[in-house]
Chains A and B, each alone.
Chain A
C-alpha cells in the first residue's frame, strides 16, 4: 500500500494511506486517548475522547475513524483539543458515581487515568444523578450501570470477538444501559472478556470484586493449566491466594483472549478438599493421614522391592515437561519398566510420522489466525479449544479467511463457514473430499482435527492435504495443558523422548486390565474415573494428585501434589509451542511432582541427576529431538517457541481405544475443574451452544 506523509504535532511521519490516525499516532509514540476505540474491533466513534485538530478541517475530527491522507497536518495536544477532551470527560462523568474508592477498577481505570491527566475537577452539571442498583447477571458477571460510559466495547467483544452476542444496549440517553441476553441474566460462554475490556468499573468479576486493590497484588505470568491451547494467564496473587486471572498485557500467544477456565477456574487451588498431607492405607484398609517422611520412606521401600517389568507408570497431561521427562527416565532406568503411558487424547504420533521428511507443516496458534483457509474436522472447536476457535473467528473477521467445518453436529464455526458439512465422525475423511475443489484454491490451509481421526485416518488426511497442491499445516487436537508435552517427553509405552522407539511395554488400558501388576504409580491422572477398576487387585498403588480422585481412593499411598500454578517448568501446547510456567502460590503440605520424584529417588538410593526444573530442561534441550533448537531467550522471557518437527520414521502403533478425547466443554476439563466453584456455579449446560 502506498505511503503518505503526515505531520503529527510538528513531526513528519510516514504511514500507510488509509490507516487510522489513532493507530498511526500510536505507532509513532503519540497517544490519542479513546474509550470506545479498540484494536481489532469494529469502529464505534461513540465516546468523542479522540478528537484531534486537523488543518483545513472545519472542526475537530475523531481520530479513531479518520483515515490518514497525504499532507495531513494533525495536532493532538493543542489547546482546542485539550479543551474538547476536558469537556468530553465532564460529560462522561455527568452521571458517573465517582465511587473510585470502592471500585474494583480504581487504580487501573482508563476513565480515572484520563480524568487525572486532564484535571477535570469541576462539573457544570447540577442535575441529580440517575442511580440504578447494581445487577448480577451470572456468577461471573456483575453490572453497575451508573459507572458505564457506553463505549460498547463489551457489546463488540461479545458479538465479534467471541461470536456469542450476549450483550446489548437498551433505552436511550441517560437511561441507556447494557443488557444481558436473557432478560435478567446471561447465557453465554461466561468468558469474562466483557469485564476485562471494560474501560471503567462497570462490569465486574464475581470472583475478584471487592477482594483487593490492583496495586496490592503480585502479578505472575504463567500458562493456564486447563485445556491444551496454552493461553498465558496473568495471575493476580494476594496473600498466597489467586484472586484474578487475566492477560491484559497481551504477553502470550493468546493476546488478551482467555476463556472462563483461564480467567476464573484457578479457584480449584483453594478448594477445601485439596489434599495437604500424605495418606497411607492402614491395616483396616482406610486411608489415614501420615507425615511426608513416613509416606516417602514407605513408597521408596516398596518401589525398590517391586521394581521390574510388572511395574506400571501412568503420567500426567498437566504436569510439566520436566516432570514427565524425569518420570519416564525414573521408570525406564531406576524402575526397569517399559509400562509407561498417559491419557492420550489425539494421535500426534501418527501425524508426526506422516509428516516425516517434511518441515514447517505443524501449525502454530498464530497460523490459525493468518492462514487463508481453515478446515475444522470432527471437533467442537469453540467448546474444546477456545483460543483456536477465537483465532479462527478473528481470522475470518480481519482477513476474510475461508472457514470450513466437517462436524457431526452444529458448531459455532457454522456461522462463519464458507461451507459446513454434517458428517458422522467415522465418515469425516470421506466427507472432506467434497471440499477438495474449494480447498485446492484456498492459497494456504490449516487443518485442525479431533481424536476420531487416528491411525490410518491421519495418514489419509495428510495424503489428502498433500494432494491439494497448496501449503497445508496441521493441528492434531489434544485435550490438556501438557498432553502434547507428555507425548514429546516419551510418556508412551513404545516411544521414548522425541518419539524414539524403545522396548515396548503395556499401554494404559493394558495396565488397567493386567492382573499381575506389582505396582502402579499414577502421577496427576485419574484413569479409574467413571467407575473403572484396576484388575491387579494386589498391586501397590501410589497416586500423586491434588484431590482424592477415584484413582486416589484406590491408592495405598496418596501424595499431595502441587498444581501448575505452584511450580516452575515448561509445558507444550497443542501446536507444539513450548512456554514457561511460573510459580504463583504455595499450598501448605503439598509438594511439586518434581520434588516428590527427587525425594523418592533419594529414598531409593538412586541418582537421577539434579532435580531442578532448569537443569532438567537443559537436559531435555540437549537430548530430546525437537527440543534441541528451541530459542531459549524467547522461552525465558515468557514467549512461546515451537518445537521442531521430528524428522524420521516413527513406529506408530495405535491400538484401538488407546486414544480418546474426554470431549470436555468450556466448563469442564479433567479432574481439576470439578473442584472449581465458579465452573460449577455457572448455569450454562456444558456443551450447549448459545446462539
Chain B
C-alpha cells in the first residue's frame, strides 16, 4: 500500500473528468482507467466513486446513459457534457498551476531566498 498515494480533497472529481474525457465509461471502467493512467498509484475506495459521479451528473458536468458492456452486462455509461469539458480544461490548468507552484516552492534552497 505504501506505493499508493491518498487522494487530496477535490482531486477525485478531476480524475473522473480526465478518465471520462478519454471516452465513455461505466463506473467500474472509470476506476480501472484511473488505475491505468495513474500507474496504479492513486487509491480510491470503489464505493466512494459513486457519490462523486452523481454529484458531477447533478452539476451537469457528466451525462449518463444505460448501455451494454463488452461482456454483455447492463451498465450505466458516463461521458462529458460541454460544460464538463470546459470545467475539465479549467481544473486541469488550475491544477497544473498549483502543482508547478508547489514544485517550485518545495524545491527552493536557502541561498535562493
| A and B: bona fide binding partners | no
- Chain B residues within 8 Å of A, Cβ to Cβ: none
